[in-house]
Every structure is written in C-alpha cells, then in structure tokens.
Amino acid sequence: MNPTADASPLSIYDAIRAEADRRRRAFREAPAPKIHIGMATCGIASGALETKRAFEEALAERPMEALLHSVGCMGHCYAEPVVVVENPGFPPILYYKVTPGKARMIVKSFLEEGDPLFEHLLGAMEENDLIPAVSDFPRFNQEKRIVTERCGLIDPEDIYEYLARDGYSALVCALQCPPEEIIREVEASGLRGRGGAGFPTGRKWALAGNAEGRDKVIICNADEGDPGAYMDRTILESNPHQVLEGMALCAYAVGAKRAILYIRAEYPLAVRTVGKAIEQAKELGLLGRGILGGDFDLHMEIFKGSGAFVCGEETALIRSIEGHRGMPRHRPPYPVQEGLWGLPTVINNVKTFASIPPLLRQGAAWYRGIGTEASPGTAIFSIVGDVVHAGLVEIPMGVSLKTLIFDICGGIPNKKAFKAVQIGGPSGGCLPAKFLDVPIDFDSLAEAGAMMGSGGLVVMDEETCMVDVARYFLDFTQKESCGKCTFCRIGTHHILRILERITAGEGREGDLERLEVLSQEIKKGSLCSLGKTAPNPVITSLRYFRDEYEAHIMEGRCPAGVCRALTAYYIDLDRCARGCDACVGSCPVEAIFTTKDRKKAVDQTLCVKCGKCVVSCPPEYNAVRKVSPANLAPIIERPPKEP
C-alpha cells in the first residue's frame, strides 16, 4: 500500500509511537533483573498467580529490585507456569512449571547468587526474541509465528507494548489509501477464513463493500466452543490489540462504523482484557470518533455469548445478538447482504482478523509465500490429548500431521503407539496412522474425511476406544443442537442411543448399517454446519476402525479396554509378587484379596472397573490384565473373612 501525501494520521501516530518507544527503552535499559510471567488462563490455572506472589514476597525479603512483567501465553501450556528471567550478564532463560517454591529458589540462587539452576530451565534463549537455543525443543524453530508472534512477549493490558512492536502501523498506512486497495490486497493474499469454513476473506469483504446501504457492521466471532480448543481465547488474552487492529482495517475497507466482538461469557479473562484494550485504544484515538484525526469513525463493543455451541454459526450468532434464541436461518440472504438488524455484516474469526495487520504490513506477496498455493498463511492449533507437549502451535499450511504431532509436539507419551487424531473439533474426522503424512490444509484434510475446523486437534494413543470417542463427540453435538432441524434434533439422538448401546455391550446386528444411513441422512437434511458435520466422527471411525465396532457387537469386548461393560480386570498369578500389596491399597471398594498362596486376585462381584490396580501395579511385575468378561481366567474363590 502506498500512502498519499496527507500525513496527518501518520504524524499523530508517530507521536504515540515515540512514547511507546520511550517506555520500551526505559524497560529494556533498566539495570534490574526482569521476570516475565505468563498470566493467561492456562498459566493461572496452573498456579501463576501464586507463583507471581511468591516472586513478590521473595524480592521483598531481600535488598534487591527486579521488574515483574505479566505477559500472555507462549503456547507451551504443558510447561505452565512459564517464567522467563533476564538477569544482567546472562541470556534470557525460560523456566517451566515454576511453583511458588521454585520461584523463591530462582530469586535466591539465580538473582542473588548467580546460579541459573539449569536443572529447572526449559532452554536458554537468544537475546530479545525468547527462542530456545537447545535442540531438545524443535517446536520453537519449526513454528511460523505470525498471528501469535507477540503472544507471551508483551503485556496484553498495556497498549504501548503493542505499539512499540509496530502495532496499529497497518491501520495508519491503510487510512491513507482508498478502501478498495485494502480489499484488493486481502484478495491477492489468498487468506481464507480461519473459523472453519475457509471462505476467501477478500471475497467476503468485497461483497460487503459493494452491498447497498451506508450502515454496515463488523463482527468478530470469538464464540469458541469446541472441546479442547482455546486458540481464540489465547490470542484475545495475550495480544488483543492485533485483533482490534484487524477489525478496524476491515471496517475501514468495507465502510462500517460499528464493530462487535462476540465473546463467550465463559472467557472472563478474555472479556476483561479485550474491554481494557478497547478503552486504551479509544483514549489514544485509535478507535472511536475521528480515528487518528481523520473522518473514520468506529464504535467497538463486546457482546457476551451464553455458551451455546451453535452460536458459532454466523446466522445463529446474529440472532443471539439481536436478543433471540441462537438458531441458524436459511441462506441466502447471506450476512454480507442482510445480517445484523438487516444490515450488511462481515463476520470473521479471531484468527482471521489477527492475520490482517501483518498481512497488510508485509504485503500479499509475502503472505502468499507462506503455506500452500490453495491455503496460504499459517494454521493455529490447540494440541491436546495423548501428546507430550500439549499447547498452542502456529505452523505454515502444508506441514504434515506427522511433523506437527511427533516433531513439534514431542509424539506420544510413555512409549505408546499412535492410534488416531481427531481434527476439526467435535464435528471433525478421526484419522488413523496411515494419514500422518497428509498435509495440513483445507483441501487435503477434506479429502481425507476430516476438516480444518477452527483448529482443535485431539491426539489419541493405542489405549483409546474409537467407538467411545464417537460416542463422546456425538453426546456433545447432540446436546448442543438447537433443535430447529428434525434431522439434527432427532437423528443425532438416535445415533447417540445406538453408540451408547454398543459401548454398554448391548450392540445388535444391523447397528452399523443404521449408523451409516442415519449419518448420511443427517448430513443431507440439516440446515447448518453443526448438523451437517455432527456425524463425521461416526463416519470416519466406522470407515477406519470398523473392526473395533464389530468386536464390541459380535465378540462382546472392547479392544482398548475402555468400555467398562465390556472390560474386566484380573491378576496374572504367574506374574504377581507374593507380599506386594500395591493393588490392594489402591482399590477403593476392597475388591482385591489375597489367595491361599499369598498372591492377589480380583473379586468380580465387587470390582467397579476403575483401573486403579493397573496404575498401582509395579511395572516390573505388570500383573494386572484387562480382558473381555467372557475371557476371564477361572474365578478364584475368595476365602471367607476371619471372624
């Protein structure tokens, strides 16, 4: 983008930026040690508030000063609370799982005595960018951070820290260009919506820009409801201004003067952080009336959603804001034609808006150089489940599932085998190991039977029951159905009942065929994407793990030993050690008893199949077995209790 000769917004911005640079220099040049503490939801849930308090108390007890700096999430949620310590004379060091006790050790041993406590650090960093230098953590150097570049480095509640890193510079430049040029640049970049559908962002903006009517609305969809997904929440908590800047750029491009962030009420920290960010931006003239001294006005507000998963669908979200029950409606008209209150409305995801500022700063050609031809840019995933380094990851589109799960996130813990990955949230697909080489992009995942979705990814190991996984996700989507469509409301109910019967050992002949027919009918007959995609876990697990379904129905067993009705525990007497009472002490119902030869056995009439005995049995014995009840070893008679 090439700004015109009018430099009024630029001169105002330069004055604000000068103050931001002054504050950053003062912080960087301060001789005192600096302690950066991750204070996003994942950090707080792991004890970051207590850790910060321990640092404050330990410093107060000593004649020394240090600067405590609250930041967002770096994405390494498995390592929280995460603390980065910059002690003069040392490179910045990243400590993981910093408990209050460890915080006091860092102050005493490192800040006071100069011992970095290498046994507690995650990796030494290169100065200023906090990138680990150790090869044990390849995740850092295999990511491509664009949207999350500043997450974990800046205080999300201090607008000057965002400004000091080129914050709002894209907006300043855009205000000196015709709005049409902004839309053309976004179109040329190939950016596709990161909310799941993958619709070209530039095309959506162009449709809204050409829509009739002067009053238009921008909505940021932050109604993140997928189980295990927290990408949007982390961005809002760690770098809210990048989202606000992206929304302002969109509003200017399409001619909107009102913007709404639809954030679910279950994200109180995100709501508070974004609310404060809006007020700070208004105080500096970056939002509100006459932005940066020009004639562009933008009123921005937060609407708190009530937690309905279906409100992630844009027409249901609109109904929710209007004060009605969140239920999808038929399209057309599309929201860009007739949306909120009948006005042309642009709805994009948090990650989409956050992609806009760096895209416009660097240019469409730069963005096109990342990812694949059909899916440019990066993908952000929240990795959960059976994986060593769970957390938030941003990678270029086109990286394989194998690289993401094994190279970046450390693979499967406890030397267990990989079994499947559920990608795309509760409506995504379950892909087995043969798809690990599939590149992560919109089209490749769709061909494999999954979907990009909003970025939730669940990794499963060999001890996962795929029938139970399908039941779990169908239970979620069935409860979240708004009930408008007969196919979705009743069809998902019938699928769930069949899956519950199968996992309870009551499967019948013909159940698999019924599941297949119901799944296809629900996909065809549902109005919105919730219903159309709800059967995906069933369809893909039937396609790739049909043998597990057949074992449940025909053999009365759960191969993974997960379904309680189809699982029994017994103790291999050949491996059981005399005198070891580990399993006895762990059993909550006293179902384990001592045999005549002083070994252990399980009273099947009392066993509740909790699995505590499996965990407690010493690995050198590994005597507890999980089998089908039909394949139990001969039942050992329990000796009568002594009077």
User: DSSP string covering 293-352, please?
Assistant: GSS--BEEEEEEE---GGGGSHHHHHHHHTTS-------SSPTTTS-GGGS-EEEEEHHH
Mean pLDDT is highest, among 141-150, 463-472, 569-578, for 463-472
- Could you tell me which of 161, 336, 145, 309 has the C-alpha nearest to residue 235? 145
pLDDT of residue 93: 86
CB 429 within 8 A of CB 448: yes
How many CB atoms neighbour CB 285 within 10 A?
17
- Classify residue 508 as exposed, middle or buried by CB count within 10 Å of its CB (0-12, 13-18, 19+): exposed
pLDDT of residue 134: 37
Tokens of 110: 């490192």
pLDDT in tens, 269-293: 999 999 999 999 999 999 999 999 9
Per-residue pLDDT at 428 exceeds 90: no
pLDDT of residue 287: 97
> What contacts 388, CB < 8 A, 6 or more positions away?
78, 409, 410, 411, 412, 413
How many CB atoms neighbour CB 578 within 10 A?
10
46 or 579: which carries more pLDDT confidence?
46
pLDDT of residue 125: 44
Q: What is the DSSP string of 395-436?
A: EETT-BHHIIIIIIS---GGGPPEEEEEESGGGSEEEEGGGT
pLDDT in tens, 544-561: 999 999 999 999 999 998
3-state SS record for 570-635: EECCCCCCCCCCHHHHHCCCCCEEECCCCCEEECCCCCCCCCHHHHHCCCCCCCEEEECHHHCCCC
Mean pLDDT is highest, among 141-150, 170-179, 573-582, for 170-179
Helix (H, G, I), strand (E, B) or coil at 559: coil
Tokens of 281: 């931006």
> What contacts 176, CB < 8 A, 6 or more positions away?
1, 3, 4, 6, 7, 9, 10
Per-residue pLDDT at 365 exceeds 80: yes
490: left (phi over 0), alpha (psi -120 to 50) or beta: alpha
CB 259 within 8 A of CB 253: no
Residue where the block lists tokens 């769709």: 446
Tokens of 28: 């960087």
What average pLDDT does the structure give for the chain?
91
Per-residue pLDDT at 5 exceeds 70: no
Tokens of 41: 């939801």
Binned at pLDDT 50, 70 and 90, residue 140 comes out as low
Helix (H, G, I), strand (E, B) or coil at 467: helix
pLDDT of residue 123: 53
pLDDT of residue 427: 83
Binned at pLDDT 50, 70 and 90, residue 126 comes out as very low
Per-residue pLDDT at 124 exceeds 70: no
Binned at pLDDT 50, 70 and 90, residue 642 comes out as low
CA dist., res. 236 & res. 242, Å (int)? 9
- Could you tell me which of 116, 127, 117, 41 has the C-alpha nearest to residue 80? 41
For 93, 111, 139, 153, 344, the CA distances from 33, given in Å and listed in that order, are 12, 7, 27, 16, 52
Helix (H, G, I), strand (E, B) or coil at 124: strand
Task: Give the ranges where 456-535 is alpha helix by DSSP (H).
Answer: 466-480, 486-503, 511-525, 529-533
pLDDT of residue 589: 94
Tokens of 563: 């379904």
pLDDT of residue 579: 79
Per-residue pLDDT at 194 exceeds 70: yes
